[in-house]
Structure 1
Amino acid sequence: MATLSRGARGLLGGPRRAGARTRGNRAAASRRQGVGLLVQRRGCNAPGALVCRAAGPGDKEDKNSVEKVYNPQTPAGEMLSYYLSEQPHLFQDAVNEQLRLLETEKEEAKEKKKEKGDKEKTDPSELVLYQRMEEVRDLEMTRNLEDLMYFAVVERFTSLGVSMLSPLNDIVDIDGNSDLENLTKGVHSVESLEMVRSHLMQVLSGPAGSPPPNLNSVLKISKLQAAQVYAASVMFGYFLRRVDARFQLEKAMGLLNEVNSDAVERLESIFGQASSAESWDEDAESFVQARAEESAAASDNLPREKPKSKLQEYIETFDQQTLQETAQILSKEGSTLVERQTRGLFGDINELQEEIKNALGGDGPDVLSSPEDLLLRLQEVIASGEVKSLTLTVAAQRRVVLEAVAFGAFLRDIENYVAKETVGLLTGNTFP
């Protein structure tokens, strides 16, 4: 697995201090007061005013501020944002303390609910009030946990020296060749990298499966398409982290099974199959050459003997149900963060969907029937400016996708840490 930074190691395995439960209320009050002083001292009175930047050395002061994408919802979130940007050496302690406080509050809420249950039997008129108070308290704890998890993810990017994306609009002017090593070898295990390459090449090939002219080629795609690709890449990174952890555990215990030959089709139906280049910062010519050779082999019906990583072979032993279960985000907090991150970068997804629906003719009788006609009509409305779009190079799109995959991987790391270090904080997702 990739080597973790000092901050990441602390987050994924730091010891818990004893006696925190007895100090819960006093510490919470002290922490809230401290947050107020920090905000007042810096003259920032609105949520999200404290700048949290995940930038590497030498970046401009006003570049890629995280608060443009995600505004803290709670005073605790503002505090974590402050520590991350101004006193990063204190960030890990702040995260651990907030987790202890949230766990204490959760247990106290359960005890109060039990006490109120007896009272409700004799005083049912207060039932509605108690229920409302519980809803407000639960919502506050959920928001605190979401802020904690988000800024813990941001800390992972900061530790790598990676500048996270700002909201993407119109012409996307980002360096497509920046942070490639950190976003790949700095995030994923050796076994995972080949699957990341395959996912990336599949995305860059586009809906028709043909290679782009070169990495400097300019694409114009709808914001909805870009948002869908981003969210899918986050989910891929999350999935990859889950199966890699399982793979590494079974590998260490000597429990790996032989590959099931009929599982390849199931894997391809979910993620597709694509080739990969040797390097993350290859030039345009090598990228085109790799895709051209692949296309030529396919047209000549020649078998491709591309060696598979052990992790890919391991995943191919999964049945369909296991694949689907592993690809699901386990907590509601994690799902919310994926939605908020995507919305912060691209805008409201429902609005973008409605915009494209109206541009394509809505639900009327003229709705296009074949996928080819639909794709052609979509390209027309994008070119005419009827829907919001992004103009970016293929290299820039590659950079966006790699950050999304890393975001998903880090989200799983943090979610796993919270689940291990606390009891009952995460809200489990329910699946059909």
Structure 2
Amino acid sequence: MDCCLSYAKPRFPTLPAGALRRPSNSALRRPSIVVASASSTRNFEFGGLTAPLAPRTPAGRLLTSVLLDDCDNFQIAARKELERLANERDEAAARLRLSLGSDEACLHRRIAELKNHECQEEVEDVMYVLINHKFSEMRVHLIPRLSRCVYNGRLEIWPSKDWELESIHSFEVLEMVREHLAAVVGCRSNSSVTQNWATIQVKRLHLCRLYAASILYGYFLKSVSLRHHLERTLNPSNSQFAISSFNQNPVSELFSVGSEYIASGRVISPRSSPLGQVSYRIERKQENLRVYVMGFNQETIQMCAKPKSKEAVNLIEKHSCALFGDEKTCLLETDDVITTSFASVKRFLLEAVAFGSFLWDAENCVNGVYMLEEN
């Protein structure tokens, strides 16, 4: 019997037809399978679980060690590494400028290109450790590689840590996150235990696409919530009879961020659908975040949803591929069907939304010391 998923308005990234379904012979029960333990290696270990993407650069490995052994000095160490990388990149660029017109110009140009690429990889690792630091502060483990979570063909994430992952959001943002979950997988806050732990099936690629879309959605929510707060702070007159555009279409028809994700690992730029008719109305009080977002035009949606730096885009790609891809190649070479539950899919998406929010924080933190490459 096919599983009927709720797509109540407003909707967000559309789940491909048949992505989640109940096996015909499944029973509705709470599973006894828990997350499989990670390997004994100490790569990014938090309480025994390993983050899917291990740092590959000196800066990443150093900060991982500091995070594990000297967490109180983590922020200082991260800033020092960023300052070092900024200085190294600037020095290579300065040598290139001084060599222009000389016989060594070609050599210094190549050195500057290599140094820029090297620094970019190190900065991406720094951003990833900053994100993991945020999760560790909540005592939440990032889900390790899927190959380490599947036992006898069954994938379950336990403990779910749903409360901790929801606690980072304001009330208005949390409402939109829950609407996102309800639209994508039918997870509602008042769902029964039986419904949450019902056995379902999902293809690996579909789950990966949902995860990547939710990262971008979390990034979008962080961006628009801060923009909303800033506008209300700078323009308090909005609370008295301000005229604002209000789009009558549900948010799902305005925003399809992250809906495309190619198996090779490229994250496609967010896009928005046509806005349709726009009406005007008088606001007697400050509009809430959801209404505020529904008033966005296409350009504003894309501006808030699109990661500002290429490093952030690369990090979304690498993390998603490491989580869902092959252990060695990190590529999605298979599209096998995974047996899991609504509760575990919800855990995936809540983590992804939090990851996107923390990515926004990390990007802005890094950009204050090391100028990231514009996306």
**Fold shared per TM-score above 0.5:** yes
Q: 1:98 to 1:158 in 2, by over 3 A?
A: same
Query: Is 1:226 the equivalent of 2:172?
Result: no
Q: 1:347 to 1:414 in 2, by over 3 A?
A: same
Match of 2:16 in 1: none
- From 200, 205, 217, give the equivalent of 1:236: 217
Determine if contact 1:50/1:78 at 8 Å carries over to the other structure: no
The correspondence of residues 344-383 of structure 1 with structure 2, limited to 5 A, is 344-347=322-325, 352=332
Could you tell me the TM-score, scaled by structure 2's length?
0.72
Q: CA deviation at 1:132?
A: 2.2
The structure in which a higher percent of residues are helix is 1
For 1:49 and 1:130, the matched residues in 2 are separated by 39
Query: Is 1:155 the equivalent of 2:133?
Result: yes
Q: Secondary structure at the match of 1:70?
A: coil
Q: 1:224 to 1:259 in 2, by over 3 A?
A: farther
Gaps of 5+ in 1: 1-47, 56-60, 273-307, 356-386
Q: 1:264 to 1:153 in 2, by over 3 A?
A: farther
Query: Is 1:391 the equivalent of 2:375?
Result: no
Match of 2:44 in 1: 52
Worse-superposed segment, 105-114 or 238-247:
105-114
Deviations 1:208-232 (A, max 9, x none): xxx9981111111111000000000
Q: Secondary structure at the match of 1:232?
A: helix
Q: 1:259 to 1:95 in 2, by over 3 A?
A: farther
For 1:188 and 1:221, the matched residues in 2 are separated by 28
Counterpart amino acid of residue 331 in structure 1? S
What's the RMSD between the two structures over aligned residues? 2.7
Q: CA deviation at 1:318?
A: 1.1
Deviations 1:26-63 (A, max 9, x none): xxxxxxxxxxxxxxxxxxxxxx96432244xxxxx3xx
For 2:123 and 2:42, the matched residues in 1 are separated by 18
Match of 2:198 in 1: 217
Query: Is 1:401 the equivalent of 2:359?
Result: no
- From 74, 96, 99, give the equivalent of 2:82: 99
For 1:201 and 1:144, the matched residues in 2 are separated by 37
Q: CA deviation at 1:109?
A: 2.2
Q: CA deviation at 1:180?
A: 1.3
Deviations 1:125-148 (A, max 9, x none): x44432321221111111111111
Tell me which structure has the larger Cα radius of gyration. Answer: 1
The correspondence of residues 211-360 of structure 1 with structure 2, limited to 5 A, is 214-255=195-236, 256=238, 258=242, 260=244, 262-265=246-249, 267-271=251-255, 310-347=288-325, 352=332
Counterpart amino acid of residue 178 in structure 1? S
Match of 1:166 in 2: 144
Match of 1:17 in 2: none
Counterpart amino acid of residue 401 in structure 1? L
Match of 1:65 in 2: 50
Determine if contact 1:266/1:319 at 8 Å carries over to the other structure: no
Deviations 1:333-373 (A, max 9, x none): 00011001100110169964x75xxxxxxxxxxxxxxxxxx
Could you tell me the TM-score, scaled by structure 1's length?
0.63
Identical-pair percentage: 32
Match of 1:85 in 2: 68
Match of 2:171 in 1: 190
